[in-house]
Chains A and B, each alone.
Chain A
Amino acid sequence: MKKRRILLGIWLVVAVFLAVAGWYISRRSLPIFQPAGPVGHKELNLILFTLSLAAIVVIPTYAIAVIIAMRYREENHTKAKKRIKYDPDFDHSRLFEAIWWGIPIIIIGVLSVVTWNSTHTLDPYKPLASDKKPLTIQVVALDWKWLFIYPKQHVASVNLAEIPVGVPVDFHVTSDTIMNSFWVPALGGQIYAMPGMDTQLHEQADKAGSFMGSPANIAGHGFSRMDFTIKATSQDGFNAWVKQARHAPKQLDAAAYTALAKPSESVPVTYYADVKHDLYNDIVMKYMTPQSGTDQ
């Protein structure tokens, strides 16, 4: 009886702890569970689906583990009341083993189909279905800040990018330094930013807001201080923002870019009114030329 009371106490402590933890976490911003766009939504659904599929195996496993371990304890065998079998040579059963090879095979089979389909529908290179023309933003990871170039709008910004709500965005991502990863949890998904390579990420915001962006791959000294913001506003708000950027005093020509690319930390948001033609392409391609071999 006393043992049972202790056990009850332990469960109570655990339950209270979990409740407090759940309450705390639910009051925080959980961008992955509060997606702001269609990609994030689909990824969240996938997370929940996988979890519930796993629960089909996990919950019985936990139950079996507890029941068997409690029931077949040595001291239970000595109690006359309970008649518990001891069968030291019981070491295989076709039926049992067929069950635990079979059920996981079925579940993983189902999940494989879901994986194949979701990987193709959520391929970051695939344009999102929309009647609106996508907005292209070129993203460059630098030491230690993010440069966003709007090639159509001929503006650029550092550590903040605005996007219009409801319009698909086609991020082209590269790095002009150490490899990094471009991640906006609320929009869904990330892609590596690698020097000399151009990766793509199609995302979209369906509601307005400021979304935290994270540098998701270790990139040296200032890596913890190169977080950025993606801000989604109405189309009019976005147009106004572009206009404002166009009136910025600075221009992003070759010299300005070289200055910007030098290592710096906690860089404030900066706008550039004009951007050198094909700057992004130059950044990617410079690693493809033989001369660059001299400075690695």
Chain B
Amino acid sequence: MIGFATEWLGRLSWHAFPQATVTRGAAIGIVLGGLIVLALITYFHKWRWLWREWLTTQDPKRIGIMYIIVSVLMLLRAGSDALMMRAQQATSVGTHTGPFSPDTFQQVFSAHGTIMIFFVAMGLMFGLINLVLPQQLGNRDVAFPFMNALSFWLFTAGMLLINMSLVIGEFSAAGWLAYPPLSELKFSPGVGVDYWIWSLQIAGVGSLMSGINFLVTILKNRCKGMTMMKMPVFAWSVFGSMTLVAFSFPILTVALTLLYFDRTFGMHFFTAGGGGNAMMYVNLIWAWGHPEVYILVLPAFGVYSEIMATFSRKRLFGYTSMVWAVWGIVFLSFTVWLHHFFTMGAGADVNSVFGIATMLIAIPTGVKIFNWLFTMYRGRIRFTSHMVWFMGFVFLFVSGGVTGVMLAVPAIDFQVHNSLFLVAHFHTMVVTGVVFGYLAAISYWFPKITGFRLHDGLGKIVAWCWSVGFVLAFFPLYALGFMGATRRLDHYDASLGWQPLFIVAAIGALTIATGVVFQIVQLIVSIWQRNERRDITGDAWDGRTLEWSTPSPTPFYVFTKTPVVTERDQFWADKQAGTVQRGYEDILLPKNTGVPIVVGGLALLVGFGAIWHIWTLVVLGLLGIVMAIIVRAMNDEPEYILTAKEVERLENARKRKLKEVMA
């Protein structure tokens, strides 16, 4: 019996289920929610449809939609973590204790950061790239469709693992980057840090595969005539970002592996004693972590470039500058990681070099801002919600740039490092740079995905809620930083006079939450009114790039015939000249396959086994993955041909159906 238990249960026991009321509530909620979804699918007999149309698909558009759905759900989860943090810091003063114990609070902020970066921002980014990039390049698919599906399912496995920590066991309380020695076994003996390691490890491998995939897609899958300098700037930004993925994610994988070896096999890479060095980990994690910020923000910059050109009805200003700026940022982002720990005590020479390298990034970033602003110059600007997002971004992001340059001066950093000033700074960069960009992008490409536009008035309210809420939530944190408030405090003294500012910050967080509620309302209203909001032409915003030349929603074969490009904004040029690229051709498409989701499920088992030390499960899972890949490799016909005739028939059927709907 004991042998069975150690073999099949490892560290797992009844104690793993949450004891505290808060976490128990969350656990029950998650389990119930999951059961309800499964029951609904069964009740409506949707399993077969789900499997055929979604779970086994290799269509990048479908995969993109699934990425976005997962990320939006995770945004809600990590957003409620944020509200919990605001509630704690607004009330846990002096003799009062907040709603959460220190340990729960530390788990909450660790989960907030980890989920927001890995499962919200990364997911939204990969989702949008999947949806848009191949079409923008005048192509139908990514370079490696199977690997693309595999990436998504590994991302989902990581996401499931991090949420399982709510139900079975606990999550890491060591912050979103889990610095040792705190994250070592001696100080974090539970499974929390292991959950953190394995959910990032599995999702990270997926991200690395995506990075390589999109890099090759950009290099090899452009349509005829599209030279590099005729690519849309979004594609250039993705190119830069994916280069960073390919170079930086291996560092993350190594750092996580070594930390796991420390914790599990008693090794001493990063331990305080035994010859380990914690600062080695800190160097490694930031050598990945700093490029990561640019991985997220570059595609968002690409989104702003598309939006500015489209809604100003004008060519993007300074295309060549933009491309150089992207590559300037890509290069510099690998030379600045040490600015995250000037206070480690490296010498003045080292600190100055990294400080100056950091400031240099302000130059290409500033150039991009001016190019966007001058895209509006002599344009005809339609002030839709996308433009509201952009204006909010410009004003807030530039202010974050100022505090960023301040933090880049080592002598100033010594004063405000790890304070709430820092927290306010990086939230400005990531929320307004990345999240605003991706939310604007979702609304921009929404008609392309679904065939109808979102309600724009509600969209403007959403953008305003986020912008105003952001100011209220984060500007007080700058002041708190100057007052000496450290980040991650679960309690502080009443005499410090910090509480009113924390209350304002909590009101700001609630304002953002209101924005999220309006977003849900916007979605419901838009679905309700989908017929009057339908995008008949496929060109919802008088667009410029090739994705707008396909019908909305884009059919699975995308283009009936791959386009030929002679101009930078080819679709705009075609519209000006009155030409339409027509015709039909045979299309090679990937068949559906269940292997990626199976591998994702097995990876989940491997991760779970590694966390709980159920080695049998780890071995079986790994064997299963190898088997699945072999099965896949044996498949000699992973693709099929859709004949030109069939494409024509489908296209005519689509047009007939559209007419019926409109009539």
Contacts and interface: CB of A to CB of B under 8 A. Distances in A.
Contacts of B83: none
Chain B residues touching A, range: 35 or more
Interface in B144-187: 173-175, 179-182, 184-187
A207 B378 CA distance: 58
Interface in A33-84: 33, 40, 42-43, 46-47, 50-51, 54, 57-58, 61-62, 64-65, 68-69, 72-74, 77
Contacts of B416: 32
Contact of B373 (A30, A64, A178): A64
A98 B414 CA distance: 35
B317 A92 contact: yes
- Which of A21, A24, A62, A119 has the most C-beta atoms of chain B within 10 angstroms of its own C-beta? A119
Contacts of A279: none
A268 interface: no
Nearest to A112: B356
B412 interface: yes
A119 B352 CA distance: 6
A216 B379 contact: no
Given A190-B417, A218-B175, A100 B345 contact: no
Given A68-B373, A100-B370, A120-B348, A215 B486 contact: yes
B415 A189 contact: yes
B182 A292 contact: no
B366 A57 contact: yes
Interface string A254-296: 0000000000000000000000000000000011011011111
Interface in A66-119: 68-69, 72-74, 77, 85-92, 96-97, 100-101, 104-105, 108, 111-112, 114-116, 118-119
A157 interface: no
Contact of B344 (A192, A214, A219, A287): A192
B348 A100 contact: no
B272 A195 contact: yes
A25 B402 contact: no
Given A62-B395, A87-B314, A115-B352, A51 B343 contact: no
B508 to A, nearest CB: 12
A135 interface: no
Given A115-B356, A192-B343, A221 B103 contact: yes
Contacts of B496: 29, 212
A112 to B, nearest CB: 5
Contact of A227 (B315, B488, B493): B493
Interface string B334-347: 00000001011101
A65 B492 contact: no
Contact of A293 (B275, B356, B391, B419): B275
Contacts, number: 296
Given A74-B381, A296-B184, A212 B484 contact: yes
A104 B381 contact: no
Chain A CB within 10 A, most for which of B180, B186, B391, B410:
B410
Given A47-B412, A296-B274, A216 B366 contact: no
B409 A192 contact: no
17 contacts: A58-B401, A65-B395, A73-B381, A86-B378, A90-B377, A112-B356, A118-B410, A185-B484, A188-B415, A189-B415, A191-B343, A194-B278, A221-B103, A224-B102, A227-B493, A286-B273, A296-B272
Given A191-B345, A221-B102, 12 more contacts: A111-B359, A111-B409, A120-B352, A122-B411, A125-B345, A191-B414, A192-B341, A194-B278, A217-B486, A220-B106, A224-B102, A287-B273
Interface of A: 21, 24-25, 28-33, 40, 42-43, 46-47, 50-51, 54, 57-58, 61-62, 64-65, 68-69, 72-74, 77, 85-92, 96-97, 100-101, 104-105, 108, 111-112, 114-116, 118-120, 122-126, 177-179, 181, 183, 185-186, 188-192, 194-197, 199-200, 212, 214-225, 227, 286-287, 289-290, 292-296
- Nearest first, the 8 closest Cβ-Cβ pairs linking A and B are A293-B274, A292-B273, A189-B414, A91-B315, A195-B272, A185-B484, A100-B370, A122-B411
